[in-house]
């Protein structure tokens, strides 16, 4: 029995970029939408905080202009080999840097202004589908809806509840993020490689820089803490060591996430339509995860509206299946290849000799370099 008599058109689980974008789109279309977010805005999260310009016009059409909030204009890419050799290239499409603390909070306020209901500090513990509707159970109430969008990020206890295959695997990947002050080019994103990982640096709003790295650790690799990992592994790259030593760190401790998975995921789970990182996570070195989350939300909500499924008094099994099939087909068309090439390219990183050979070879062939960047990015929305 629900604690709330309202039957929502859509419940969105997770208020990251995909969840917030979905909520804004549905709310401005006049739908009764509920967004459930486990934390309270604004807050920081582990993220590279670089967004491809492919979504900039779309964000502006929603009513949010990142540039008005001081987003950095990123035009070029610097890569360093594990031995510290720098390689530079221009980013044809370019991008912008903005913190999740700012962009998520502003999109949240925009969602509320469009009429969406938002529950914060609320964790979803279960989702069931029966009698042609969803029951979403939280830590203190239950809610019902016609559709559910799962946009709760890279991994969650809900993944275990749904018995998703990827959640059973030990990945060994750990993500670590800092905000720092440093003398560094405003228009450049750096990607510095080290054994079994890489670290990105780029400016966000103000004079703050995001410093975020991904590291693979086998079960036999033991470090007492993050500082020891950085000292013994990351600092083998002299460029990266210099960045850390020159930086003024703004937080007492970094944000850390573990068991990051880049394995393929099922797009539909018990009729829940997954979006953003819950649908598939692109490797961070591609710098395109945030724009993919926004683009996937635009795709999904557009299909929901085009199907007119929410306007029907009785949604049939055929109606639901057609929407799910269409979403799966178009999501795969737009994003599956990007994820595939992201995993392939990441395979060349981590081994010092292989990484150096790969970067030097690709950089010596400009058309190949542009092609590899293009394979992990889309067209302007």
pLDDT in tens, 179-236: 999 999 999 999 898 988 889 999 999 899 999 999 887 655 677 789 999 999 999 9
Q: Is the pLDDT of residue 367 over 80?
A: no
Nearest Cα residue to 361 out of 166, 35, 79? 79
- pLDDT tens by residue, 28-44: 999 999 999 999 999 99
pLDDT at 259: 81
Per the domain annotation, does 184 fall within a domain?
no
What beta strand segments (E) does the chain contain?
Answer: 7-13, 33-36, 50-52, 72-80, 86-97, 117-119, 124-130, 133-138, 142-150, 173-181, 188-194, 197-203, 209-216, 248-249, 255-258, 268-269, 272-274
Looking at residue 350, its pLDDT comes to 63
Whichever domain contains 273, its CATH number is 3.50.50.60
Q: Is the separation of the CB atoms in 196 and 156 below 8 Å?
A: no
| Residue 243 domain-assigned (yes or no) | no
Task: Answer yes or no: is 363 within a domain.
Answer: yes
pLDDT at 124 over 90: yes
Which pLDDT score is estimated for 375?
47
> In the prediction, which pLDDT does 199 show?
93
Assess if residue 125 is contained within a domain: yes
Q: Note whether residue 329 is domain-resident.
A: yes
Structural domain of 268: 7-46+56-66+98-169+261-375
Number of folded domains that form the chain? 1
Q: What is the pLDDT of residue 170?
A: 73
Averaged pLDDT for residues 175-179: 95
Q: In this structure, is residue 238 part of a structural domain?
A: no
Residues 60-92 have pLDDT tens digits of 999 999 999 999 999 998 988 888 888 888 888
């Amino acid at each position: 029995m629900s604690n709330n008599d309202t039957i929502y058109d859509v419940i969105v689980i997770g208020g990251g970029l995909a969840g917030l974008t979905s909520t804004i789109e549905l709310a401005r279309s006049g739908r009764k939408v509920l967004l459930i977010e486990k934390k309270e805005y604004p807050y920081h999260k582990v993220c590279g905080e670089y967004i491809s310009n492919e979504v900039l016009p779309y964000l502006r059409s929603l009513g949010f202009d990142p540039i008005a909030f001081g987003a950095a204009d990123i035009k070029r890419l610097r890569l360093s080999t594990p031995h510290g050799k720098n390689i530079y290239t221009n980013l044809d499409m370019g991008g912008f840097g903005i913190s999740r603390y700012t962009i998520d909070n502003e999109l949240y306020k925009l969602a509320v202004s469009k009429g969406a209901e938002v529950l914060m500090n609320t964790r979803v513990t279960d989702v069931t589908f029966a009698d042609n509707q969803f029951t979403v159970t939280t830590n203190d109430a239950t809610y019902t809806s016609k559709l559910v969008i799962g946009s709760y990020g890279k991994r969650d206890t809900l993944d275990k509840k749904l018995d998703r295959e990827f959640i059973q695997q030990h990945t060994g990947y750990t993500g670590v993020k800092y905000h720092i002050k440093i003398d560094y080019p405003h228009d450049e994103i750096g990607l510095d490689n080290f054994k079994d990982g890489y670290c990105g640096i780029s400016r966000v709003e103000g004079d703050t820089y995001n410093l975020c790295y991904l590291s693979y650790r086998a079960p036999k690799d033991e470090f007492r803490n993050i500082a020891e990992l950085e000292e013994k592994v990351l600092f083998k790259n002299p460029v990266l060591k210099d960045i850390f030593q020159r930086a003024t760190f703004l937080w007492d401790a970094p944000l850390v996430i573990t068991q990051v998975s880049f394995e393929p995921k099922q797009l539909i789970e018990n009729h829940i339509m997954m979006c953003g990182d819950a649908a598939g996570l692109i490797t961070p070195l591609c710098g395109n995860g945030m724009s993919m989350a926004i683009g996937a939300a635009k795709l999904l909500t557009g299909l929901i509206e085009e199907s007119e499924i929410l306007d029907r008094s009785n949604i049939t099994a055929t109606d639901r299946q057609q929407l799910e099939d269409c979403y799966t087909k178009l999501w795969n068309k737009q994003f599956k290849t990007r994820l595939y090439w992201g995993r392939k390219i990441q395979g060349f990183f981590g081994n010092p000799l292989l990484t150096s050979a790969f970067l030097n070879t690709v950089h010596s062939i400009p058309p190949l370099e542009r092609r590899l960047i293009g394979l992990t990015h889309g067209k302007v929305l």
